Structure 1
Amino acid sequence: MASQDGGDRADFGCVACCAEDAAVAQAHHRSPDGVRPERMIRDDSHFIVSVQRCGLCSQAFVSVFTEYIDWVASQDAQYRTVLPITDAEADDLMAGRLSPHRAGALGHGRRHLQSDWPSDAEEPSVYWDSGVFEVREGH
């Protein structure tokens, strides 16, 4: 089971959902038996926030997806951040006590899985990042 103290620790999750190789972790997050949605927090066409759980270790994650429409070339930029969170943080998000716009503040001191696909890129870059991340709605 993952650490639940919310501190500056890297021991969230298991070797599948928090694999050292970001591409391996992303593959697990996308697999049908990997990380599953638990509750949708926001589901707009260009801004999606959900709480998810690993099917192997029950680690909770907040997933933030943002898309920006490219009105010129129709190559919409897409960004996804997946951050491991404590059960208490998951409860706060699901109960509305924590705004999805504040989810990035949970990332202080924690690594998060990042997928960036700007309009001019052939494919997304997937990597682990750390620190606070900005949560903005797409358009």
Structure 2
Amino acid sequence: MGSQDGSDRAGFGCVACCAEDTAVALAHHHNRDGVRFENMIRDDSHFIVSVQRCGLCSQAFVSVFTEYVDWVASQDAQYRTVLPITDAEADDLVAGRLSPHQVGALGHGRRHLQSDWPSGAEEPSVYWKSGVFGVSEGH
């Protein structure tokens, strides 16, 4: 567990939504009064992209959820990436000027909260990751 002073937030968010401790950050993102839904960008059964906002500091985030159906064991793999974005980037997503598939490029030089729950795992692995990431639709 890292510090909770927010020293690695790179100018984004507060000590709750971008807490160094992933358990603190995840709890804030899952709390209805923590990070709130703002706009749905894409809502398919296996691919959900939305803009969310921290209730404490108003930091905008793009949340990308992808699920891959496990037709054999019925343990669908689920992946979620939560990336802090600027208000202008949030506006571009909502207006359609920025595609959901392009948000991974915004990760360059930014830290994002990653939750990986592959098929067969008993619980997700949650960690901070930096850099560009791929965005793909599930199936």
Cα deviation, residue 14, structure 1: 0.4
Gaps of at least 5 residues in structure 2 are 1-8
Which residue number corresponds to residue 4 of structure 2? none
Which residue number corresponds to residue 32 of structure 1? 32
Gaps of at least 5 residues in structure 1 are 1-8
- How far does the alpha carbon of each residue in 1:30-64 deviate from its partner, in whole angstroms, 9 at most, with x for none? 00100001100000000000000000000000000
Which residue number corresponds to residue 60 of structure 2? 60
Question: Runs ≥4 in structure 1, deviation > 2 angstroms?
Answer: none
Q: Which amino acid aligns with 2:50?
A: S
Give SS of 2:119's match.
coil
Count of residue pairs the alignment pairs up: 131
Which residue number corresponds to residue 42 of structure 1? 42
Give SS of 2:27's match.
helix
CA RMSD of aligned residues (A): 0.7
TM-score (norm 2): 0.93
Q: How does 1:1-139 map to 2 (within 5 A)?
A: 10-139=10-139
- How far does the alpha carbon of each residue in 1:65-119 deviate from its partner, in whole angstroms, 9 at most, with x for none? 0000000000000000000000000000010000000010000010000000000
Give SS of 1:114's match.
strand
Which residue number corresponds to residue 6 of structure 2? none
Taking only the aligned residue pairs, the percentage that are identical comes to 88
Question: RCO higher in 1 or 2 (8 Å CA, sep ≥ 6)?
Answer: 1
- How far does the alpha carbon of each residue in 1:2-38 deviate from its partner, in whole angstroms, 9 at most, with x for none? xxxxxxx712000000000111101000001000011
